[in-house]
């Protein structure tokens, strides 16, 4: 058993009064009161946000978060008949802005529009004041600052915006570009530069066709725009947030009748001739005689639709369809067609041609002085006699007024004085007065192509009509379309109209062959070895478009080949050649030859295989 522990001695208390600890309750009450006040403050603020000011804060959040931007439809391509791209689109960006996000209420910066414009102007190549006007419009939610910008431009803006955000975070700057956005879009480009530019036209800065087929077919090419609403923060799209999209519908692709290679050959030839002749302008039309399809529609000088800054407004048209000019002797075939069809004469009818022919108030002459000529009707055409043509036209009626009426009806039937049917913007129908309005001079000059005006496609169509056996086929430029559904649709068949009989067309073709084949004809420059060629020269007095008076010449050549089985018509015009020769045979004959040779080869048209020496062009008055 363990012994009991001895008692410990009791400690004595120190002398003095006893210490007492303070109560913690007052401090706890103070802390509790402070916490209560803080909770009350939070509750009041929460009540203000959730109940009193809920709608205003919701609206402000929505304003800053959601933005609706349009989705531009991809414009349809334009191709040649073989699918080669003539006008297409590439990736680009439209730089846009939400002006409300530049207001002082949203940014806290009074001059945010001005500061943003100053930063963007050198990048977008626009005037800072113009950009300020676009951004300083708080009632608007959308403004286009620049269209069709390359991706590098948008990257530059993104980098600048990121730099501003970094400066703002450090307190050394302010973000003024949060309201700038980029819409993925497309830029219209023309891969072949100036090739067929006068036909294609161009797209303006608003993305709308501004000329040519781009304007004429804009509704088809442009498609239907859509839009998208998405959330953004700090100018950046929030990928996980809800969005609403109405997809854009792409435009329709258009296939033209043009052949890119033939177009190039025609354009190259006419550009070279206009430069060599120091001429004002020139154009070449190439047409398929069987279908009416235009294979080339070239003009010079041209322009590059990729860069419209290098050309003025007057140079943006298509002179082959918009210029009205007096065509001269190439029009004589219509007078001859009327004479043959009305059985007033035949190709071997004898025509005595004096050096001067007094009619009305003037004396008419041929291009060169000559003794009295004894020509057949074929010879009148081969030697391009104005006097002989007047004499032939007078046989169309018992009186001059009757003859005028008959000739006018054939001019109209061949398409003069009426639109071509292409519907091309700005196309001229030409000028053809009613026969009762022909003055004393016109009733004798119109038979040889002066005193009336046409465009180049109208003139080419005359020769295609004869090549087609006397049936006129409305010219066409569009071969077919491919819609957004991917389905190809051929263009409607062109209208056809009988103008003269097959017999008349055949006889007149032989007369036109004589122009080229005869040693005394004016069309020797059009001869092509292995092919029979029918053609006609033209050298007309030219009306100066600025003064309205005759000044200079219009040189032309028209024809088709092979004459015995026609496939291609080529028509060349050069306006106001001032350096070197000026006649149609010397200026346009070589162009016709070059373009016709190329076209026959490109279309793989076999050689004729036969020769034609021409019809008799003179007769012996004593025989």
Instruction: Output the six-digit token pair for 615.
Output: 């019809």
Partners of residue 471 on adjacent β-strands: 498
Are 131 and 120 in contact by the 8 Å Cβ rule? The answer is yes
Q: What was the pLDDT predicted at 1?
A: 47
- What is the rounded CA–CA span in Å between residue 478 and residue 212? 13
Partners of residue 91 on adjacent β-strands: 186
The three-class DSSP label of residue 345 is coil
What is the pTM assigned to this prediction?
0.79
Q: What was the pLDDT predicted at 59?
A: 55
For the chain, how far is it from start to end, CA to CA, in angstroms?
A: 183
Q: What was the pLDDT predicted at 187?
A: 84
Parts of the chain belonging to CATH 3.90.1310.10: 67-101+117-122+144-228+245-256
**Which CATH code for domain 260-602?**
3.40.710.10
Q: What are phi and psi of 74, to 5 degrees?
A: -70, 130
- What is the rounded CA–CA span in Å between residue 349 and residue 536? 20
Parts of the chain belonging to CATH 3.40.710.10: 260-602
Q: What was the pLDDT predicted at 55?
A: 63
Q: Where are the beta strands (DSSP E) in 463-567?
A: 471-473, 478-482, 488-490, 496-498, 534-543, 550-561
Place of tokens 């947030």: 241
Which residue, 597, 589, 581, is CA-closest to 516? Answer: 589
Q: What are phi and psi of 551, to 5 degrees?
A: -160, 115
The three-class DSSP label of residue 45 is helix
Residue 485 host element (H or E): none
**Which CATH code for domain 67-101+117-122+144-228+245-256?**
3.90.1310.10
Mean per-residue pLDDT pooled into runs of 10, the chain (623 residues)? 54 54 68 76 65 57 67 91 95 90 88 94 94 90 89 93 91 91 86 96 89 96 87 66 83 97 98 97 97 97 89 86 96 98 97 96 93 97 97 97 97 97 96 96 96 97 98 98 95 96 98 95 95 96 89 97 97 97 96 98 91 92 88
307 Cβ contact partners less than 8 Å away, ≥ 6 residues apart? none
The three-class DSSP label of residue 394 is helix
- What is the rounded CA–CA span in Å between residue 376 and residue 396? 17
Would you call 142 exposed, middle or buried from its count of C-beta atoms within 10 A (0-12, 13-18, 19+)?
Answer: middle
Q: Other C-beta atoms within 10 Å of 363: how many?
A: 10
């Amino acid at each position: 058993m363990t012994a009991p522990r001895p008692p410990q001695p009791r400690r004595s208390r120190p002398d003095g009064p006893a210490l007492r600890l303070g109560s913690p309750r007052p401090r706890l009450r103070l802390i509790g009161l402070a916490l209560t006040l803080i909770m009350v403050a939070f509750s009041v603020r929460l009540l203000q946000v959730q109940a009193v000011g809920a709608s205003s804060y919701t609206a402000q959040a929505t304003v800053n978060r959601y933005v609706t931007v349009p989705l531009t439809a991809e414009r349809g391509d334009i191709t040649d008949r073989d699918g080669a791209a003539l006008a297409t689109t590439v990736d680009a960006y439209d730089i846009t802005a939400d002006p409300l996000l530049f207001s002082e209420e949203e940014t806290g910066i009074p001059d945010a529009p001005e500061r943003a414009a100053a930063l963007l102007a050198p990048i977008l190549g626009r005037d800072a004041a113009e950009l300020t006007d676009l951004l300083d419009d708080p009632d608007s939610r959308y403004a286009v600052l620049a269209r069709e910008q390359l991706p590098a431009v948008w990257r530059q803006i993104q980098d600048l915006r990121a730099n501003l955000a970094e400066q703002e975070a450090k307190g050394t700057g302010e973000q003024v570009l949060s309201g700038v956005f980029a819409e993925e879009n497309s830029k219209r480009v023309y891969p072949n530069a100036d090739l067929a530019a006068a036909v294609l036209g161009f797209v303006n800065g608003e993305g709308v066709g501004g000329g040519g087929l781009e304007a004429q077919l804009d509704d088809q090419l442009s498609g239907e725009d859509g839009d998208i609403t998405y959330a953004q923060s700090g100018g950046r799209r929030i990928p996980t947030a809800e969005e609403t999209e109405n997809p854009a519908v792409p435009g329709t692709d258009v296939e033209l009748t043009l052949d890119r290679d033939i177009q190039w050959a025609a354009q190259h030839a006419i550009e070279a001739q206009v430069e060599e002749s120091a001429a004002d302008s020139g154009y070449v039309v190439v047409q398929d005689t069987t279908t009416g399809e235009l294979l080339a529609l070239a003009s010079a000088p041209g322009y590059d639709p990729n860069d419209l800054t290098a050309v003025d407004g007057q140079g943006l048209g298509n002179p082959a369809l918009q210029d009205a000019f007096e065509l001269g002797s190439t029009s004589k075939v219509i007078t001859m067609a009327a004479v043959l069809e009305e059985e007033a004469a035949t190709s071997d009818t004898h025509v005595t041609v004096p050096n001067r022919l007094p009619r009305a108030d003037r004396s008419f002459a041929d291009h060169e002085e000559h003794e009295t000529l004894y020509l057949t009707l074929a010879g009148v055409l081969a030697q391009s006699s104005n006097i002989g043509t007047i004499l032939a036209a007078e046989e169309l009626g018992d009186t001059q007024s009757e003859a005028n009426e008959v000739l006018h009806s054939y001019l109209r039937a061949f398409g003069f004085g009426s639109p071509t049917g292409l519907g091309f913007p700005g196309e001229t129908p030409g000028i053809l007065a009613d026969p009762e309005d022909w003055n004393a001079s016109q009733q004798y000059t119109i038979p040889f192509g002066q005193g009336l005006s046409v465009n180049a496609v109208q003139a080419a169509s005359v020769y295609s009509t004869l090549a087609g056996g006397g049936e006129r086929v409305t010219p066409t430029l569009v071969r077919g379309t491919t819609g957004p559904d991917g389905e190809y649709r051929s263009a409607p068949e062109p209208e056809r109209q009988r103008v003269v009989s097959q017999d008349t067309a055949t006889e007149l073709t032989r007369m036109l062959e004589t122009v080229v084949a005869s040693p005394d004809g004016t069309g020797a420059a059009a001869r092509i070895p292995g092919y029979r060629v029918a053609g006609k020269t033209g050298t007309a007095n030219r009306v100066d478009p600025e003064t309205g008076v005759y000044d200079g010449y219009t040189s032309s050549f028209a024809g088709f080949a092979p004459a015995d089985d026609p496939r291609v018509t080529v028509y060349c015009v050069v306006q106001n050649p001032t350096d070197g020769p000026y006649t149609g045979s010397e200026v346009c004959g070589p162009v016709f030859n070059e373009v016709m040779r190329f076209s026959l080869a490109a279309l793989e048209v076999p050689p004729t295989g036969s020769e034609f020496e021409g019809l008799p062009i003179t007769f012996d008055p004593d025989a």
